[in-house]
Each structure stands twice: as structure tokens, then as C-alpha cells.
Structure 1
Amino acid sequence: MNNFEFYSPTEFVFGKNTEERTGELVARYGARRVLLVYGSERIVRTGLLGRVEESLRKAGVDYTLFGGIQPNPTDTMVYEGIRLGKEKQVDMLLAVGGGSVIDTAKAIAAGLAYEGDFWDFYAGTAIVQTALPVGVVLTIPAAGSEGSGNSVITQVSTNKKISLRTPRALRPKFAIMNPELTMTLPPYQTAAGAVDMIAHIQERYFTNTPHTEVTDALSESLLRTIIEVTPKVLASPNDYDARAALMWCGTLAHTGLCGTGNEEDWSSHAIEHELSAFYGVTHGAGLAVIFPAWLTFMADHNVDKVAHYAHQVWGVPATADKRADALEGIARLKAFFHAIGMPTSIAELGIDNFDLELINSHLHVTKGERVGNFIPLNEAHTRQIYEYAVRG
């Protein structure tokens, strides 16, 4: 196990009707003028936005609405949010939504405290030292952004989709988590969210760091729970207990806990980001295609942990042939994805004009010559992974 620092100061307020405490929590953290960031009109139709607004008014908090955040959020909306935040002199960002909304709020929070271009942080030419506080009312369990310092934004002019990791400055001050708010999610969005959770855990689980028994056990337990409860949620959308388990799994998957003491990988996310940046696919669906392809490559190049994963997570009996065990585990992963309505090939994503060479070369323009740590992947390696994704 490697040396590590684990910092997770977010206050999680979990359970039924907790969105009614939004104003109380905003006021607790000293904010008086909030930019309320949200995505679709679903939160208007369900009455959630109205309840949050009423809670803010009762707490004496002024607020400005900033809606229309789309999946795979872009820099154009961040710039508009920064402009509006400056105009209204806000002192907190309140994200009501899922990962795209929260990531956008974090980028605005960093940009409002910075004299330069917020994209400097994503380009790696500046480091976030300070930011406005961020609060969250979570509506989509998936990205885990409610419990992390991470934010992913796409620069429209270059199609660069970049993940910013700020372990301290951008972790939300609080996250309100009511599983009831997820009951109106479409099945596809629920399933894509489950895949995102699985991927967040596996990006940390597949490590070459020795003696990671504690984090491995945490990761395996969370993975098995997601595999168990996701079909229940899809079969019975109003099952509160299953929704609650899935929602909490999504948060625990991305607080950093599952990576403590590990050298993490994150190559599958980088490879998928090219798909969602260029083709607009749902991030979780893209990961359902890329992660099995990545694992198939690893079965021939770094098989031990992949076989262990097959044994511990998918119940594959151990044999003397680790590669065969690994491939059986991958087959069971793909069968699970299909069972919950997720794709496992480029064609199933609905991409009929896939330009493998463009995507692969752009990946390395964005991420550099080598990607990831489990095996540092060069351009030939990632091309092979994309080829596996095409085959499905």
C-alpha cells in the first residue's frame, strides 16, 4: 500500500424530504446570494425546483436561476455562468441535478475566484487555489461528483473533454441526497449511471500497487452491491431501499476511498471521453463499451488482477488458466450490461460513422503519448482497445 492523504469534508444529508433543508444548509455555510445551477425541466415538472426555491426563501437566501445544462457539459455554459455569477455577485453555487450540473457548478465556482480564463485549470496551466463554495441537491446517482473534487468539461472549439481533479478546493460543502428524487429517471439513464459507478470503482481497483487488500475488499463489495441492486431498481422504480443503496454506492464509488493507497489508472475514462466529446454519447453507455474492451486487452497483458476480479466480483471458479478465467469474467460483465439495457459495442452506441484513427490520435493529442498506469497505453495499444470496442 502506498502513502496517501484522504480528505472528504462534504456533509452528506441523506433520506426522504431532505431537499427541504436546502436553505438551512446554504445558510449554515454562510451564503446569502446563490447561483442555482440546473439542467432539464424535469426538476420543474416534479416540483423539486419549487421546493428548493421555497426552502431558500424561508432561509432568507437570494438566488438566481441558471438552467439548461446539458449532458457532457461545455465551456460555453461555464463562461455564461461566470458572467451571470459576477453580475449577481453570488457567494455560493448550488447545483440541483446530476454530474453534468455539478461539474459545471464547480467550474463556475473556480472561475469566479480567478482573474484569468477558467479553462487554464483544465488545460493544466493553472491550479485551483480557491473557489466559491458549492452545495448539491443530487437527482441522478451516477458520477459521484457530489462527493469528489473532480469536474469534467468539454471545450467546444477543440472537442477536448478534460477531467480536472482538485482534492480540496472543489469538493462540495454539502450534498443533499433523497433517493425519492431518482424515481422518475428513465431506465436508460439509471442504467448508465450504474455503469459510471462501476467504472469509477474499477479505475481504482485495477492497480499494480501491492498489498491493497482493504481497498480491494471495499471495491469488490460495492461492485457486487451495484450488480445486485441495479436490476431491482429497473424492475421496481419506486423501490426506495434499492434506490437508496444505488445512490449511496454512487457516492462511495467516487469519494476517493476506493483508491486510498493505490496508484489509479483512469485510461478507460480517457478513452471513452473521446466518444462522448465527438459523438455526444451518454458517458455511462460509452463506458459500457470501453471497459470490457479495455479488460479484454488487459487479459493478454496484465492478467492477474483481471482474473482476481472475475473470481471475486463475478463468481468465476478459479482454474489454472487465468486468462480463461479473466475472459469469463468479462463475458459476465458484458452480459450484465446487456441485461440492464446497456451497449457493449460501438454499433450499439448508435455510432455509424466511427472514425477510429481520428479518435485515437485525438486521444493522445489530449492525453499525451501514454495513457493510464495499469499498463501505460501507447497509440497502438489504445487503437487495439477501440478495435475491441468496435467488435463488441
Structure 2
Amino acid sequence: MIQSYDLYMPVHLVFEKGRVAELPKLIKGYGKKVLLTYGGGSTLDCSKAIALGAKYDGDPWDLVIHRDRVKGHLPVFDVLTLAATGSDYDGGGVITNDATNEKRAVGVCFPVASILDPEYTFTVPASQTAAGSADIISHTFEQYFVSEGSMLSDGFCESMLRTVMKYAPVAIKDPTNFEARGELLAASSFGCCRLLAVGREAGAWPCHGIEHELSAWYDITHGVGLAIITPAWMRYCLKNNPAVVAPKFAQYGVNVLGLNPADGVETNAKKSIEKTAEFFRSIGITQTLKDFGIDETHFDEMADHAMTTWFAGRPPYTFAPLGREGILEILKASL
């Protein structure tokens, strides 16, 4: 039984010079301590950052920048209310620092236990259901669209994509559909646990690297940002490395989207991109970056920051060479 607790209900889940950054100090005043999180992936990621900070005497943001300074973490439990990030079944997390316009990954902190009850997601609005589904799809794409193939992993990824593309529209139309909500929750959990990458290279997760720059600077939901830039990224890859990219996009088109293999690799590769964009529109993500007040003002800063943080030291950029100019091209194509 919990005998003493502090309820924290933040309005904004950002690691700023406010309550989130101060919570680790507050928590140290308790005796036996655990963190119980009720909410979606961003809430859980915030708890992971707090749990790490509670075991560290310095500025908790240090642990985001310098993972070698991690000294452990408090036990974290969660009750998940949104299918999206997969943070309930992996050790990582993402936190935003408003003061520096940075969105960065936090160190290893696996939840002790996660409770996933589809009924707890029944009240998630259509817009967040769509954004969460787009996030799951992107997690899968980042591990599926890589230069090294694996029949088993490809099968995992294709099943994930078929599942989300089938059940996201159902959950949006019928929010209390237990089957649809359950399938999306399960897909969410498997998206980042490394199962989809068995037998293949890790990949650079390029769309996430680019989108984190967007949502660090602007108030745009992560999944929506991913849905907007993904088709532009796909077109960029097909243009710059067609020999590798076209066969995989065509495979995705046939095995997931139901395209006719008789139409050929080149045709199906192009169709798969347009069908992906069409799917995102069908679940209500119809915006471009301009709709969020985003223009080219900070694109140079975003590209520079992505290259020196997200892409620094990562595996070869998945599918197609992606340097600073490539990032800028994708961002501009998403306006």
C-alpha cells in the first residue's frame, strides 16, 4: 500500500528550469521510492528522466547529454493510456529542453512493470489516436527501410504495418472498439523493443532525427510531424539511391499495401510512397508544416544540430546518403 505520495500533473512535459527539473531533488526527501506513471509515452519518458535524476547529485540535464554519468534510477511503473511510443517496453525516452530548443534521448531506464489495458485508451481523441498510430508506423519504417534485409524481421515489420493500418481507422471511427485498441497497444509496445531489428543493422532512424528538431522548436505533435516528413523522406531516398530503395519500397507496397507485383518494382515503389501519404491523410493528418506556422527560419539550425547530435556516430544513414543538405531538402519539401 502506498502510504505517502506526491501527485504531479504537468501541463507541459518539458525539461525546463521548473518543476520537472526540480522533481528529482524533491523525491530524494522520501523514504522508499517508486515512480508510478499514468499517461502516454511522453509522461512515461518524463518519469524516466526524473527517475534517473533522483540518483544524481548534479543537474539532471547532464544525464541527457552525458549518459556515462548515469548512476542508476528509481523503479518506474506505468499504466499506459495511449498507443504510440513503446516507452513501456524499452529503456529509452525522449525529453525536450525548451530553454535550448533541444529534444534528446534519455538514458537506459526500463519500467519494472507496465499495465496495458485497452479500455484505458477508449477516451483518446481521434487526433491523438492518429498521431500515435503514425508514430508506431514510423518506428516500424525506421527498422524496416534499411539496406540490410532479414526475412524474419521484414515479416515482423510488415505484420506490424498491416495491423496498424487496419486498426487505426477502426479505433478512430469506434473509440471503444476493444479489439482495435488492443491491437494498437500491442503494436506500440513492440515498436521499439528491438524485435523488429533482429538480424539486421540498427539503422539511423532518420525521420526521428529530423522530426525531433521540428518538435524541439515548434508546438507540433511528434506523430503528426513524422507523418508529414515521412513521404518527403521516402521520395528523397528513392531519388538518391534507387537501386537499393526501389525494391524495398516495392516489397512494402505489395506485402503491406496490396499493390500488384505485376506492375513492376519502379511503379510500385512510387505508388507505395503516395499510398503512405494517402493513408496518413485518411486518418486525419492532412496538414503540412506551414499549417503549424513553420517556415524555413530555423531549418539551418535544425540541420546543423541534427548532424552533430542525432546522426553523429550512428550507422550509415539508412537507404540513402543523408547529410545536412538532405535534411534541408526534406524539411523544405514538407512545407
When normalised by structure 2's length, the TM-score is 0.90
Change (3 A) 1:78 1:341: same
1:152 — aligned with what? 94
Match for 1:163: what amino acid?
A
SS in 2 for 1:65: coil
- Structure 1 CA distance for aligned equivalents of residues 123 and 154 of structure 2: 33
1:83 — aligned with what? 25
- Structure 2 CA distance for aligned equivalents of residues 192 and 86 of structure 1: 35
- Structure 2 CA distance for aligned equivalents of residues 379 and 324 of structure 1: 29
Q: Is the 8 A contact 1:141 1:193 kept in 2?
A: yes
Change (3 A) 1:207 1:352: closer
1:324 — aligned with what? 267
1:272 — aligned with what? 211
- Structure 2 CA distance for aligned equivalents of residues 114 and 128 of structure 1: 7
SS in 1 for 2:114: strand
2:252 — aligned with what? 309
1:16 — aligned with what? none
Change (3 A) 1:93 1:376: farther
Larger mean Cα displacement after TM superposition, 303-312 or 151-160: 303-312
Larger mean Cα displacement after TM superposition, 191-200 or 239-248: 239-248
1:245 aligns with 2:183: yes
1:183 — aligned with what? 122
1:373 aligns with 2:317: yes
Match of 1:206 among 145, 150, 155: 145
Task: Give the CA RMSD over aligned residues.
Answer: 2.1
Match for 1:364: what amino acid?
M
SS in 2 for 1:153: strand
SS in 2 for 1:64: coil
Identity of aligned residues (%): 33
Q: Is the 8 A contact 1:206 1:265 kept in 2?
A: no
SS in 1 for 2:160: helix
Match for 1:215: what amino acid?
S
Unpaired runs of at least 5, structure 2: none
Superposed CA offset, 1:282-328 (max 9, x none):
00000001111111111122413222222222122235753332121
Change (3 A) 1:260 1:117: farther
SS in 1 for 2:309: helix
Shift of 1:103: 0.3
Q: Is the 8 A contact 2:126 2:172 kept in 1?
A: yes
1:96 — aligned with what? 38
Shift of 1:220: 0.5
1:231 — aligned with what? 169
2:222 — aligned with what? 283
Match of 2:288 among 342, 345, 348: 345
- Structure 1 CA distance for aligned equivalents of residues 157 and 112 of structure 2: 25
Superposed CA offset, 1:193-229 (max 9, x none):
000111111111122224x111110111011010001
Q: Is the 8 A contact 1:147 1:171 kept in 2?
A: yes
1:388 aligns with 2:310: no
Superposed CA offset, 1:249-297 (max 9, x none):
1111122211222222211001001111101100000000111111111
Change (3 A) 1:131 1:385: same
Change (3 A) 1:341 1:64: same
1:219 aligns with 2:165: no
Unpaired runs of at least 5, structure 1: 1-58
- Structure 1 CA distance for aligned equivalents of residues 99 and 294 of structure 2: 23
- Structure 1 CA distance for aligned equivalents of residues 26 and 169 of structure 2: 41
SS in 1 for 2:6: strand
Superposed CA offset, 1:345-366 (max 9, x none):
2124x22544233332333343
Q: Is the 8 A contact 2:218 2:294 kept in 1?
A: no
2:234 — aligned with what? 295
- Structure 2 CA distance for aligned equivalents of residues 226 and 116 of structure 1: 42
- Structure 1 CA distance for aligned equivalents of residues 106 and 218 of structure 2: 21
Q: Is the 8 A contact 1:75 1:153 kept in 2?
A: no
Match for 2:56: what amino acid?
Y
